[in-house]
Structure 1
Amino acid sequence: MLIRSSIEATIGWDFGPDSICEDAHLALVFSSRYKGRSDWFSGRSYGASPSNMRDFLKQRERWSWGLVGLAFNKTLPRHSRALLMYSVTTWVIGPFQHVAVVLAAGALMGDINTSPVSPWILPLWAITMGYAVWMYWEGLKINASVSANGRRLWWEPPVVLLLMPFFAIWEACGSFKGLLRYLRGTENQFVVIAKPA
């Protein structure tokens, strides 16, 4: 994100103790004050990922917790909150959409056919699933390109594809935990996690 320092100074970063996703908060305030004044530019930002699975879960929990809080923040425009609510809802109910949960529910109900009620949903499902696979595939390619040897090992792509259901449930659990923390009214905490240098 690039922003003019004068605009950044006008908006500021201190949104109070209830805001733990200050970057998203700043973006929502900016978009409401400066309508049509933002743009997209093609570029990449290389950051450090969480150093372990526990920290990854904590990071996703904080993101979800903060974004749910923004979706219910009445100081922000209603239309921005509605779009955010839609996106966050699909994220936080992730555990209930996981293939293992759907298959288990079908088995418990005595019906192993978990196909959609209408075949018209299948193309949308295929596009969504294809996009998820592409994101992991591209992520692996980009990570490998900036690593020491600059290339993927032969076994990494198939392992990433095989582990996608595990990655999906792990991320979904983090986002669902964030929703629960928001609903419980837990005091906001900006969780700092260790990242490799």
Structure 2
Amino acid sequence: MIDNPALLIAMILWIFFIPNAVKLFYRFVRNNKQFIEKDLRRIPNDPKIIFQITTKSATKTSVVERGIQSIIDSCKSTKYGKYEILIVTEDPKDIKTLESMPCKVLCVEKSFSPNAIKKARALQFAIESRRKLKKQNSDHWIFHMDDESYVVPQTILSILKFIREKKGIASEGPIFYPLKFEKANRITALAESMRAFGCFECVTHMHNPPPIHMHGSNLLVRSDVEDKIGWEFGPILAEDQRFGYELFKKYGRNSMGWHGGILLEQPPLDIKDHFMQRRRWVIGNLQNIENFSRLFKARLIYKCTSFFLGFVSGVISLALAFYINIPKIMSVFSYASFDWNNNINFDLYLWFDRIVHINSSYNEIFRPLFDIQVFDSTLALILLFSSTVWLLGYQVGLFLNLKYTRIGRSKRISLHIQTFLLAPFLGLMESFPAFYSIIEFYFFKLIRHNKLKSYDFYVVKK
């Protein structure tokens, strides 16, 4: 049995993630064919689509104009003309900034006070504005985009197909992060790989609602449905997740689907933005938990616990790896001896002997796995499978993100190698915001006697 306490804790944590690894791999294999819609034909039975970009300020966020132009170019390329572009903003200056663009600018009134905050407040204002124009009907569809969102012709054809085939009243597609990839911090850009891979899970969530995770962008929803659900969920930061759950409650299991149209976005440009973005998602999840059914609540608790324990597991695993392997590495290089005259005595045979000796012995990290009497080596193989899926996620996600960049093949290979080598540190950076945010959330809940702290909606730089 395992007599090392740190290794025992690490073992328990590794076992905890096995169900998630199996689930991820299964959904990756199962959803691969329908992940990106490929069977696309232009059939002219055009619905009315409103492309809605919700922003704090298009004047301060220049990428909004890039998104507008991508809609115009993609619709022209697919010969689709029954669309509108709506910019929902809190900045009155955007009216002048975007006056030359073929779009309507809707500025959220300062006096508007719904039961919602930040982005949800703007989304609710857009609903009420459409209501006045009598566009809250089944003839209109709303395609939600963020500041940096960028559509391509495949996006247009995919959402037209989904509407035409009447597979649901709300749907989503995959989001990849190639834009400004080389301008972003290298670590945050590589860390975004797991988000792209996670979209394989979203396919299952949308076909079997309620979705435990739902994107606020690349969301296609019928206008009358959005009008009835609304965005007035109180002072929460994950309004998209709550919207998906309420839509499921009202319209049932067959209400949602997967349109498979891709949307291109960009990774956080620096580590602070990366942290604050992840923190907002976790806080939003924790705010929503009390409003869900028991089963959905249990799924969400497992998800949040996985994020929390992921950081703990990563710290312990890295500490063990360094503790066990650094002495071995030092032993390999100790074949060279130095004197004060910078003379190096090199014994090639001794060096090879040490390399062979180290490689022929078991690595102490994995030796105890084979000593467990009940599972024997089977458990070690299962844990190896879990680690392989985790590494696969980064590689597949990076491949999808780089696919839509102009980065050359040699540099792509280099980035894949970097991601493989940095995976343990990327995992820590991904899980630390959840670890921190869960402690922060429940700490404030405890000291304020369940009166929640008012969390701000941090807007990352674009």
**Aligning the two structures, in what range does the TM-score lie when normalised by the shorter sequence?**
0.7 to 0.9
The residue aligned with 1:189 is 456
CA distance in 1, matches of 2:302, 2:460: 28
Alignment equivalent of 1:156, drawn from 411, 415, 432: 415
Is the Cα contact below 8 Å between 2:231 and 2:243 reproduced in 1? yes
The residue aligned with 1:82 is 298
CA distance in 1, matches of 2:387, 2:306: 14
CA distance in 1, matches of 2:248, 2:380: 35
Is the Cα contact below 8 Å between 2:320 and 2:365 reproduced in 1? no
Is the Cα contact below 8 Å between 1:28 and 1:80 reproduced in 2? no
Give structure 1 stretches of 5+ with no counterpart: none
1:47 pairs with 2:265: yes
1:103/1:150 CA distance change after superposition, 3 Å:
closer
The residue aligned with 2:311 is 95
The residue aligned with 2:245 is 28
1:132/1:113 CA distance change after superposition, 3 Å:
closer
CA distance in 1, matches of 2:234, 2:424: 37
- Greater CA drift, 131-140 or 20-29: 131-140
3-state SS of 2:421 partner = helix
1:122 pairs with 2:380: yes
Alignment equivalent of 2:282, drawn from 52, 64, 72: 64
- Structure with the larger strand share: 2
Give TM-score, length-normalised by structure 2. 0.38
> 1:41-95 CA distances to partner (integer Å, 9 max, x unpaired)?
4332222211111111111111111112222x2x322222121111121112211
1:145 pairs with 2:403: yes
Give structure 2 stretches of 5+ with no counterpart: 1-171, 173-219, 324-363, 445-452
CA distance in 2, matches of 1:63, 1:121: 33
Is the Cα contact below 8 Å between 2:229 and 2:243 reproduced in 1? yes
What is the identity, as a one-letter code, of the residue corresponding to 2:299? L
Is the Cα contact below 8 Å between 1:144 and 1:150 reproduced in 2? no
Alignment equivalent of 1:174, drawn from 401, 409, 433: 433
Is the Cα contact below 8 Å between 2:395 and 2:419 reproduced in 1? yes
Equivalent pairs, count: 188
Cα drift, residue 184 of structure 1: 2.1
What is the identity, as a one-letter code, of the residue corresponding to 2:319? A
What is the identity, as a one-letter code, of the residue corresponding to 2:281? W
1:125/1:43 CA distance change after superposition, 3 Å:
farther
Identity over aligned residues, as a percent? 24
3-state SS of 1:3 partner = strand
CA distance in 2, matches of 1:123, 1:31: 39
Is the Cα contact below 8 Å between 1:62 and 1:191 reproduced in 2? yes
1:113/1:148 CA distance change after superposition, 3 Å:
closer
In our comparison, the structure showing a higher alpha carbon Rg is: 2
Give TM-score, length-normalised by structure 1. 0.83
Is the Cα contact below 8 Å between 1:64 and 1:176 reproduced in 2? no
CA distance in 2, matches of 1:159, 1:113: 23
CA distance in 2, matches of 1:139, 1:102: 23
What is the identity, as a one-letter code, of the residue corresponding to 2:316? V
> 1:2-53 CA distances to partner (integer Å, 9 max, x unpaired)?
2211111111112111x11111111122222222122234332222211111
- Structure with the larger helix share: 1
CA distance in 2, matches of 1:167, 1:143: 16
3-state SS of 1:39 partner = strand
